[in-house]
Amino acid sequence: MAQKSKPVPDITKLTKPKAKVELMRLRLEIERHDKAYYQDDAPLISDADYDALRQRLEAIEAKFPELVSGASPSQKVGAAPARGFAKVTHKVRMLSLGNAFSDEEVEEFLRRVQRFLNLGEHELPALVAEPKIDGLSLSLRYERGELVRAATRGDGFVGEDVTANVRTIADIPHRLQAASIPEACELRGEVYMLKSDFLELNRKQEEAGEAPFANPRNSAAGSLRQKDVSITASRPLRFFAYAWGEMSNYPMAEPTQHAMLGWLKEAGFVVNPEIELCRTVAEALAFYRRIGEQRASLPYDIDGVVYKVDRLDYQSRLGFVSRSPRWAIAHKFAAEQATTVLEKIEIQVGRTGALTPVARLRPVTVGGVVVQNATLHNEDYIKGIGGDGQPLREGRDIRVGDTVIIQRAGDVIPQVVDVVLDKRPDDAVPYSFPQQCPVCGSHAVREEDEAVRRCTGAMICPAQAVERLKHFVSRLAFDIDGLGEKQIVLFHERGWVEEPADIFKLQQRNETLQLERLEGFGETSVRNLFAAIDARRKIELHRLIFALGIRHIGEGNAKLLARHFGDLDSFLATMRIAAAAQTASGNASEAYHELLNIAGIGEIVAAAVVEFFAESRNMRALDELLKEIEVLPAEQVKRDSAVAGKTVVFTGALTKFTRDEAKAAAERLGAKVAGSVSKKTDYVVAGEDAGSKLTKARELGVAVLSEDEWLALIGNT
């Protein structure tokens, strides 16, 4: 069923120049999705939509083979290793797999194999049929039986070094067990996560306020590719072994795919228990159907079946073409779909204020699972507009009462993919997306080029409250000793702190609240907490601005605003004028232009600031807060200091001051503090054990100062 159709040029009518342009467009789009999927573990589209892009590219290349270049996605595997990982060059390249979507394509694959090997029409090579696990492939190098290195596939040539992470996976032996062990071997397979473990992990992620993963595959990839190994260790990763790369010698006289699987098991690996050796195409296809029926009830996600020629001598004769072996093929499953009625559209407000539409469905079974809710992504998706502004579903919109097609494709979260127009009730009306947050009533806005509409009630929206309050007390904001995330969650749960001003009213209300009665809060700690809160009743302007939780206002922008306006009154006065002049089509006030003219503040940031102040609910909460605190004017930057206008990088362990102090002092003197060394850097201040930044500074000839030299330079000895 066509789930998505864009007005893309018809392939049969493409001229060569047009095809060239279209190939370029597809290549860029596929590369963008490859990066999101392989490097960031956060796909932007479903696998089915991604596969459709690739199929289109391949169809055009088949028509114009002379346009195939080495840069085409049809010639490449995965994506280059992400930054931050050491690189490992694979001794034997790691490949992808060709795809078959029908029985005919599988039969065609076998005929190709027979022709290539010069076999007779009835001489069918045996095939090993394996479930295609939806995880990420991993290569494990063993020397004299010891695990020495583990790497991801990367772009097939070079992968990411994940040795330390892999040592935390129980399914992967540190030492091989088998009777016969090659001197050196590289064993391969799939890292994956059980569906149940994935759901549990996502539940915990949500509780901790982290973004949930889209599906078990991304969750496994994201968990393995962690710089902090203890995070990997805490994730329930598993591994199926099914392949190998370099083998100094085979552990058996007549190696075959199935014998090697037996040996992998003997060596201590988990081998998938469903795998079967098939003698005929009929047997292979029967395996595909059986596994297809079991798919929903298997504890892990699979997206097809892989058939591999069993004899290894055949495998090596067959070799590979561009990105996949000739001796294997992946027979993919269709996405699981079902039809049901959309009963209601509800809007959920996320912790960051994003309004997400969710379809409430008449319950229906999709691939063995009862589905009652499905995502509708965003406002445009409901209207029938895609991320690129082009029509989706030929422009069909989605309405309450519609009969809809829903799909689960590798993704655990089902989605509504299409509408059956013939069944649309006569009285169905286009859905109108709320312009107000359903939780707090604040106006909700969409930024230019953003699909998401967000609640602007940053200071008061209950859906966002906990996140905002945590932000309010965070280190760069109010930074109150003894009032961390844990206490905020607790106070919020009890209804004691709903908005920032409440924090400053705790002491006054304590006769009724009686904080000292809470577990873990003695009299002393409560007294200390109140003292710490009092100490923050005087706060610098930039900390206050940062603490408000305005979208796009991080520490840097908060400082720009604070320095520009100098004190709270002039900041607020300008904001009020700008907010009053805010209209749907823009803002013509001088106040808004003043904001825009601040170096470093762009349109998106300026608009977000004004939206915040245009919401009266925020203003009320801010006024409440201001009754409790005194805001100190911004320290004026010295323009005549020795380091004014210079760019400084601090590196290594500093002993005379903390990083934050160093940064604040430098900025007060008009210097810019950067995170990395470049030609534009004026000074590198190196503490103890300074590493690559120091090396880079020397290479580039940037002045390197000790802490004392720095203090002397800024006249602070």
Ligand X SMILES: NC(=O)c1ccc[n+]([C@@H]2O[C@H](COP(=O)([O-])OP(=O)(O)OC[C@H]3O[C@@H](n4cnc5c(N)ncnc54)[C@H](O)[C@@H]3O)[C@@H](O)[C@H]2O)c1
Give the end-to-end CA distance of the chain in Å, rounded to a whole number: 75
* Interaction partner, residue 303 (ligand X, Zn ion, none; CB < 5-8 Å by kind): ligand X
Helix (H, G, I), strand (E, B) or coil at 472: helix
Residue 306 interacts with ligand X (CB under 6 A)? yes
CA distances for 140 relative to 97, 145, 234, 237, 528, angstroms: 20, 11, 21, 15, 53
List for the chain the helix, strand, coil content (%; round to 5): 40, 20, 40
Question: Exactly one of 14, 27, 37, 687 binds ligand X (CB under 6 A); which one?
Answer: 37
Contacts of residue 37, Cβ cutoff 8 Å, sequence gap at least 6: 43, 50, 79, 218
Instruction: Please count the other Cβ atoms lying within 10 Å of the Cβ belonging to residue 234.
Output: 14
Contacts of residue 681, Cβ cutoff 8 Å, sequence gap at least 6: 647, 648, 649, 674, 697, 700, 702
Residue 45 interacts with ligand X (CB under 6 A)? yes
* Interaction partner, residue 487 (ligand X, Zn ion, none; CB < 5-8 Å by kind): none
Q: What is the DSSP string of 15-64?
A: -HHHHHHHHHHHHHHHHHHHIIIIISS--SS-HHHHHHHHHHHHHHHHH-
Q: Using the structure block, give the residue that is written with the tokens 């699979």.
A: 302
Written as six digits, the tokens of 56 are 């289109």
Number of residues interacting with Zn ion: please give it, by CB under 5 A. 7
**What's the rounded Cα separation, in Å, for the pair 367 and 500?**
47
For residues 20, 25, 30, 32, the Cα torsion angle rounded to the nearest 10 degrees is 140
Stretch 319-348: interaction string toward ligand X, x if CB under 6 A: -----------x------------------
97 is in an annotated binding site: yes
Question: Exactly one of 11, 56, 68, 96 binds ligand X (CB under 6 A); which one?
Answer: 96
Q: Are 298 and 193 in contact (CB under 8 A)?
A: no
Stretch 434-473: interaction string toward Zn ion, x if CB under 5 A: ---x-xx-x------------x-x---x------------
Helix (H, G, I), strand (E, B) or coil at 138: strand
* Interaction partner, residue 331 (Zn ion, ligand X, none; CB < 5-8 Å by kind): none
**What's the rounded Cα separation, in Å, for the pair 76 and 27?**
11
- What kind and span of H or E run contains 268? none
Complex with ligand X: residue 37 or 612, whichever CB lies closer: 37
Residue 76 interacts with ligand X (CB under 6 A)? no
Complex with Zn ion: residue 61 or 499, whichever CB lies closer: 499
426 is in an annotated binding site: no
**What's the rounded Cα separation, in Å, for the pair 692 and 647?**
18
Of residues 140 through 159, those in contact with ligand X by CB under 6 A are 153
Residue 592 interacts with ligand X (CB under 6 A)? no
Instruction: Please count the other Cβ atoms lying within 10 Å of the Cβ belonging to residue 530.
Output: 17
Q: Are 72 and 27 in contact (CB under 8 A)?
A: yes
Kindly tell me the sign of the dihedral angle through the C-alpha atoms of 276, 278, 281, 282.
negative
Of 133, 202, 204, 203, nearest to 171 by C-alpha is: 133
Question: Exactly one of 80, 97, 614, 669 binds ligand X (CB under 6 A); which one?
Answer: 97
Complex with Zn ion: residue 347 or 591, whichever CB lies closer: 347
Nearest approach, Cβ of residue 29 and ligand X (Å):
10
91 HSE (CA, 13 A, CB side): 16
Stretch 161-200: interaction string toward ligand X, x if CB under 6 A: -----------------------------x----------
Complex with ligand X: residue 133 or 376, whichever CB lies closer: 133
Complex with Zn ion: residue 324 or 348, whichever CB lies closer: 348
* Interaction partner, residue 455 (ligand X, Zn ion, none; CB < 5-8 Å by kind): Zn ion
Question: Exactly one of 22, 23, 26, 33 binds ligand X (CB under 6 A); which one?
Answer: 33
* Interaction partner, residue 437 (Zn ion, ligand X, none; CB < 5-8 Å by kind): Zn ion
Residue 675, classified by CB atoms within 10 Å of its CB into exposed (0-12), middle (13-18) or buried (19+), is: exposed
Q: Is 132 a catalytic residue?
A: yes
Return the exposure string of 640-662: e unless at least 16 CB atoms fall within 10 Å of the residue's CB, then b: ebebeebbbbbbbebeebeeeeb
Nearest approach, Cβ of residue 435 and Zn ion (Å):
12
Of residues 72 through 101, those in contact with Zn ion by CB under 5 A are none
Residue 242 interacts with ligand X (CB under 6 A)? yes
Complex with ligand X: residue 235 or 323, whichever CB lies closer: 323
Complex with Zn ion: residue 439 or 669, whichever CB lies closer: 439
Residue 137 interacts with ligand X (CB under 6 A)? yes
* Interaction partner, residue 45 (Zn ion, ligand X, none; CB < 5-8 Å by kind): ligand X
Q: Enumerate the H helices of 150-238 as residue ranges.
A: 163-166, 195-207, 216-224, 229-233
Stretch 418-437: interaction string toward Zn ion, x if CB under 5 A: -------------------x
* Interaction partner, residue 37 (Zn ion, ligand X, none; CB < 5-8 Å by kind): ligand X
Written as six digits, the tokens of 341 are 């009625």
Q: Are 692 and 698 in contact (CB under 8 A)?
A: no
Residue 138 interacts with Zn ion (CB under 5 A)? no
Catalytic residue among 35, 63, 132, 383: 132
Q: Are 660 and 686 in contact (CB under 8 A)?
A: no
Residue 220 interacts with ligand X (CB under 6 A)? no
Complex with ligand X: residue 306 or 440, whichever CB lies closer: 306
Number of residues interacting with ligand X: please give it, by CB under 6 A. 26
* Interaction partner, residue 457 (ligand X, Zn ion, none; CB < 5-8 Å by kind): Zn ion
Complex with Zn ion: residue 245 or 350, whichever CB lies closer: 350
Nearest approach, Cβ of residue 442 and Zn ion (Å):
5
Question: Exactly one of 41, 61, 130, 418 binds ligand X (CB under 6 A); which one?
Answer: 130
* Interaction partner, residue 634 (Zn ion, ligand X, none; CB < 5-8 Å by kind): none
- E strands within 444-592? 444-446, 453-455, 538-540
Interacting span for ligand X (CB under 6 A) from 125-133, 546-554, 573-581, 670-678: 125-133
Residue 407 interacts with ligand X (CB under 6 A)? no
Complex with Zn ion: residue 41 or 502, whichever CB lies closer: 502
What are the two backbone dihedrals, phi and then psi, of residue 404, each rounded to the nearest 5 degrees? -125, 155
**What's the rounded Cα separation, in Å, for the pair 611 and 589?**
14
* Interaction partner, residue 357 (ligand X, Zn ion, none; CB < 5-8 Å by kind): none
49 is in an annotated binding site: yes
* Interaction partner, residue 335 (Zn ion, ligand X, none; CB < 5-8 Å by kind): none
437 is in an annotated binding site: yes
Written as six digits, the tokens of 507 are 């002491």
Q: Give the catalytic positions in this structure.
A: 132
Binding residue positions: 47-51, 96-97, 130, 153, 190, 308, 332, 437, 440, 461
Q: Which residues contribute to the site for Zn ion (CB under 5 A)?
A: 437, 439-440, 442, 455, 457, 461
Binding residue positions for NAD(+): 47-51, 96-97, 130, 153, 190, 308, 332
Q: Which residues contribute to the site for ligand X (CB under 6 A)?
A: 33-34, 36-37, 43-47, 50-51, 77-78, 96-97, 130, 132-133, 137, 153, 190, 242-243, 303, 306, 330
Binding residue positions for Zn(2+): 437, 440, 461
